[in-house]
């Protein structure tokens, strides 16, 4: 891992846990990705894709500094993931390092993509 690498996470979704009586993260293991770089969340848990101009502008602001040394974790609202993926692909000319959760290994695995 490059010391300057970042992990761009689309969205940390939450849900209400009936047993605990509180909101908790849907994917609690996201913090394990810190070994790949600094974690950066693109959208808040309450962001919805219906105001597309705002959503797209926010993604450009957050992702404008992404480099080929950074990672992308495509979790969250599927529409927000699609928008963020498109913008990352634009900035990186299709070269994306995905982080994929391996339930078997209970850890993240890197998937290198060269889309073009």
pLDDT in tens, 34-74: 999 999 999 998 898 999 999 999 999 999 999 999 999 99
Q: What is the pLDDT of residue 80?
A: 97
CA nearest neighbour of 110 among 41, 36, 46? 36
Q: How confident is the model at residue 27 (pLDDT cuts 50, 70, 90)?
A: low
Instruction: State pTM to two decimals.
Output: 0.87
Q: What is the pLDDT of residue 22?
A: 83
Q: What is the pLDDT of residue 28?
A: 60
Kindly tell me if the per-residue pLDDT of 1 is higher than 60. Answer: no
CB 87 within 8 A of CB 96: no
Q: What is the pLDDT of residue 38?
A: 96
Q: What is the pLDDT of residue 19?
A: 87
Q: What is the pLDDT of residue 3?
A: 57
Kindly tell me if the per-residue pLDDT of 24 is higher than 90. Answer: no
Give pairs for 30-36: CB < 8 Å, separation 24+: 30/73, 30/75, 32/107, 32/108, 33/7, 33/9, 33/71, 33/73, 33/99, 33/108, 34/7, 35/1, 36/1, 36/5, 36/7, 36/71, 36/99, 36/108, 36/110
| Least confident interval from 26-35, 72-81, 103-112 | 26-35
């Amino acid at each position: 891992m490059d010391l300057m690498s970042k992990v761009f996470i689309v969205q940390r979704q939450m849900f209400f846990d009936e047993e605990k009586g509180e909101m908790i993260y849907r994917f609690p293991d996201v913090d394990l990705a810190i070994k790949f770089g600094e974690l950066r969340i693109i959208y808040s848990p309450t962001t919805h894709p219906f105001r597309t101009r705002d959503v797209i502008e926010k993604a450009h602001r957050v992702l404008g500094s992404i480099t080929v040394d950074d990672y992308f974790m495509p979790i969250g609202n599927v529409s927000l993931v699609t928008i963020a993926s498109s913008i990352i692909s634009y900035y990186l000319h299709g070269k994306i390092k995905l982080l994929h959760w391996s339930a078997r290994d209970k850890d993240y695995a890197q998937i290198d993509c060269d889309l073009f």
